[in-house]
Amino acid sequence: MSARVLNGTLVAEVIRQGVAARVGELAARGIRPGLAVVLVGENPASRVYVGSKVRTCEALGLYSEKIELPVETTTEQLLGLVVELNERDDIDGILIQLPLPPQIETRRILEAIDPAKDVDGFHAVNVGRLVRGEEGLVPCTPAGVIEMLDHYGIDIAGANAVVIGRSDIVGKPMALLLLHRHATVTICHSRTRDLAAEVSRADIVIAAIGRAAMVTGEFIREGAVVVDVGMNRATTAEEVRRIFGDAEQAARLEEVARRGYTLVGDVEPRTVGEKAAWLSPVPGGVGPLTIAMLMKNTLRAAEARR
């Protein structure tokens, strides 16, 4: 069997169209949702993400403001900016791009954001609401995974769902969202005694560990749904040949030669694709959904606030 593709690029486009339509309705009432994106320092990956977030806002008719601060910015300075953004009526969403430089106390910054403008869903108030199953702003990546499963009509209620990874950004909120949709949820992590045994019982597998191609076909039950949240880089021809099947190798090797790397998920597509019923690719799976959901969260924040 060869897995069917969970096409995140397509689902993200559907989400963006829905957001653009509602932004148009708000515009008729004189309201334009606004997102502030804050980048501290020079992390090249962060710079790419921030650019992409701002461009997507522009494409959908949202107002956006990119604020760039030097790498030596202090916690107090960044807190000052957050307070300013909290008070501005034209800003509905505040996104502080992570990771922040080491001298900045990340938790204090995230807790200073007005929960009503916390479009990342990282504030303790929004985390608390998520735990309780109350309305609130939910982290973009796990919320996007749920949208993708729904788009393809995959049943969550009653399913055995295994989330691999326990991060605050993906693993924990992912597990809670699946639980609220009535899945039986297991969270696995680096200290899980028998990962293969846990994953082999799963109807739905969410891989969010951050290790290239760690989940192989041997872990996967025949017919499972596998969502790959990983974003890793493969840099050697040897790695590429191990991870990708014949059909994909040539293009991937060419990419490594050209750019020095190719993007690899936490799932080994060659072997998992033979067992799973559905698999999200990397790139083109969960990645595009994250920014689409950020737009949706900004819209929701605007609708709730104004």
The residues binding ligand GUN (CB under 6 A) are 95-98, 120, 140-141, 169
Q: Is 168 one of the catalytic residues?
A: no
Q: Is 90 one of the catalytic residues?
A: no
CB of 49 to ligand GUN, least distance (A): 6
Q: Choose, from 92, 97, 172, 228, the residue flagged as catalytic.
A: 97
Q: Choose, from 114, 118, 120, 228, the residue flagged as catalytic.
A: 120
Closer to ligand GUN by Cβ: residue 96 or 208: 96
CB of 100 to ligand GUN, least distance (A): 9
Residue 214 structure tokens: 């760690």
CB of 202 to ligand GUN, least distance (A): 24
Closer to ligand GUN by Cβ: residue 96 or 156: 96
Residue 206's closest CA among 184, 192, 222, 187?
187
User: From the centroid of its chain, how far is CA 182?
Assistant: 21
Closer to ligand GUN by Cβ: residue 95 or 162: 95
Closer to ligand GUN by Cβ: residue 265 or 273: 265
Q: Which helix (H) or strand (E) holds 59?
A: helix 44-60
Are 195 and 239 in contact, with CB atoms under 8 Å apart? Answer: no
Query: Phi/psi at 253 (nearest 5 deg)?
Result: -65, -40
Contact partners, residue 250, CB within 8 Å, separation at least 6: none
Query: What is the rounded CA–CA span in Å between residue 107 and residue 197?
Result: 35
CB of 153 to ligand GUN, least distance (A): 26
Query: What is the rounded CA–CA span in Å between residue 42 and residue 240?
Result: 29
CB of 182 to ligand GUN, least distance (A): 26
Closer to ligand GUN by Cβ: residue 95 or 164: 95
Q: Is 66 one of the catalytic residues?
A: no
Are 198 and 218 in contact, with CB atoms under 8 Å apart? Answer: no
Cβ-closest position to ligand GUN:
98
- Quickly tell me which residue has 């300075």 as its tokens: 77
Closer to ligand GUN by Cβ: residue 40 or 204: 40
How long is the chain?
306
Residue 139's closest CA among 151, 150, 125, 126?
126
65 class by beta-carbon count within 10 Å (0-12 exposed, 13-18 middle, 19+ buried):
middle
CB of 300 to ligand GUN, least distance (A): 16
Angle, alpha carbons 262-67-290 (nearest 5°): 40
Query: What is the rounded CA–CA span in Å between residue 101 and residue 42?
Result: 9
- For the annotated catalytic residues, the residue numbers are 53, 97, 120
